[in-house]
Amino acid sequence: MGLIERIFGKKNIQDASQKIELLNDAGDGLFTLGEKLFRSDVIRACIRPKARAIGKLKPKHIRENLTECKINPDPWIRMLFDEPNQFMSGQMLQEKLTTQLELNNNAFAYIKRNEYGYPIEIYPIPCTKVEVLESKQGDILLKFTFRTGKVVTLPYEDIIHLRQDFNDNDIFGDSPYKALLPLLEMIDVVDDSVIEKTNSNNLIKWLLNFNEVLDQEEMERNADDFVTNYMKYTGEGVKVGFSQPSYDLEQVDSDSYVPEEERSIEAINRIYSFFNTNEKIVRSTYNEEEWNTYYEGVIDPLAIQFGNEYTRKFFNRRDRSNGNRIVFETSNLEFASLTTKLNLSAMVDRGSLTPNEWRTIMGLGPIIQGNTPIRKTDTEPIDQKQKDREWELEREREKKREEEREKRREECKAERERFRQECKEERDRCREECKEFCKEVWKLPEKEEKEK
């Protein structure tokens, strides 16, 4: 059994050959050309800080509704975050997806589920081409082509799809290859010119102008003797040169080549701007404010996209309506100054941070009962029963409000029925009076006739 069969198994759909018609797609699919970009050291330097920052994000399953508020209530989801598959940890998976996202503006991961539909493994998909298909039942499928030529077709609902520069295509993000290729070519031209000029300057340093005609072997012997005596370091101390009447010595001036540094630096800065980074971030020479700016502008949006995509693909609509969601916690306080970290101790006294959360920011290990919030009034742990009592009181209040609404609804119904009965009685009474009046009117002519 190959790795593809082991990972994808029966999810590999082979009978879907119909391409879906998109609004802005020529039907060729998406070609991933990130391998060519990843050969550049400048591109790697731009991607590495972002990938490592995303790898340090901590995914958490939160279930919050009117009856409960829990973090990681299901152990199987927490274990899936720690070890998504047998080949990598959760940190490595997040870094790999971020690297693919930066190189291709698209990143894919396959969610392997058990027979009950629960996720059990997550695998990244490093493909070379992706096509959008439609199954016979109308479901959206993605057809992945790997570097080995093998093809796998998977349902889109089982694919974690991250994207950026989401503009022209209806499903995929626009490739960065065309935008970065001219800048990389400019840097390569400058580097190649430096190497070529340096090699050409090292070819000839001295010329021996012989005063008489010599054969080829004699000229080569004199040249070798000159190199051995004057061009090589033998460790025997200072050597004294002497005049050789058979030839005149002429030094070849070496033209030291200095490339156009400004053009190369401009191209590198444009690449930095493309990846929303700068030289201080790449070289890790930033301060607290510079890192916070980079974190809020680059890391936070991607963390939100990670959380939304995991939530959509892990839970159905019913689970999400019950308050289930996945968040990737972003903590940029690890690079804060010591003064900023110490000032956060006030948040511990107010119960906003637990002691262990604050110790994690300080780079310290956890302590016993450090996950329980404390208050400044008595610095004692908050009773869990008090929290449960608050939830019960809220539920009782909500129940009373519902009972009151039901009571008013019954009163309105009874009032409406009483009014309807009164109207019916009034209508019957009016009808009887009308009949009596009509009888009197019809009897009046007969009475007058009799009187005549």
Please check whether residues 102 and 53 belong to one and the same domain.
Answer: yes
Number of residues in the chain:
452
Are 159 and 206 contained in the same domain?
no
**Is residue 41 pLDDT above 70, yes or no?**
yes
Residue 297 lies in a domain: no
More confident: 108 or 382: 108
State pLDDT tens for residues 400-420: 888 888 888 888 888 888 888
Inside any domain, residue 219: yes
Strands (E), 41-150: 58-64, 69-71, 106-113, 119-124, 129-134, 140-145
Are 151 and 113 in a shared domain? yes
d(CA 135, CA 390): 50
Helix (H, G, I), strand (E, B) or coil at 65: coil
Angstrom distance (rounded) from CA 158 to CA 120: 12
Asked if residue 290 lies in contact with residue 279, where contact means CB atoms within 8 angstroms, the answer is no
In this prediction, residue 116 has a pLDDT band, given cuts at 50, 70 and 90, of confident
Q: Is residue 290 part of a domain?
A: no
Q: Give me the mean pLDDT over the 313-327 stretch.
A: 92
| Same domain membership, residue 80 and residue 225 | no
Q: Based on the domain organization, do 370 and 403 belong to the same domain? A: no
Shared domain for 159 and 237, answered yes or no, is no
Flag whether 135 is in a domain.
yes
Domain match, 147 and 189 both: no
Burial of 411 (0-12, 13-18, 19+ CB in 10 A): exposed
Please name which of 388, 316, 286, 318 lies closest in space to residue 53, comparing C-alpha atoms. Answer: 286
Q: Structurally, how many domains does the chain consist of?
A: 4
Q: Quick one: 107 and 173 in the same domain?
A: yes
Same-domain status, 38 and 174 = yes
pLDDT > 90? residue 107: yes
Q: Which two tokens stand for residue 124?
A: 């990244």
Final residue belonging to a domain, choices 228, 261, 294: 261
pTM of the model: 0.66
Residue 102 lies in a domain: yes
In this predicted structure, the answer to whether residue 14 has a pLDDT above a threshold of 90 is no
At residue 177, φ and ψ (nearest 5 deg) are -65, -45
Are residues 150 and 10 part of one domain? yes
**Which structural domain, as residue segments, surrounds residue 251?**
182-261
Q: Helix 41-55 vs helix 177-201: angle between axes, to the nearest 10 degrees?
A: 130
Task: Convert the pLDDT of each residue in 129-171 to its tens digit.
Answer: 998 888 888 888 999 988 888 889 999 999 999 999 988 888 8
Residues 159-197: b if buried by 16+ CB within 10 A, e if exposed? bbbbbbeeeebebbbbbbbeebeebbebbeebeeeeeee
pLDDT mean over 283-293? 88
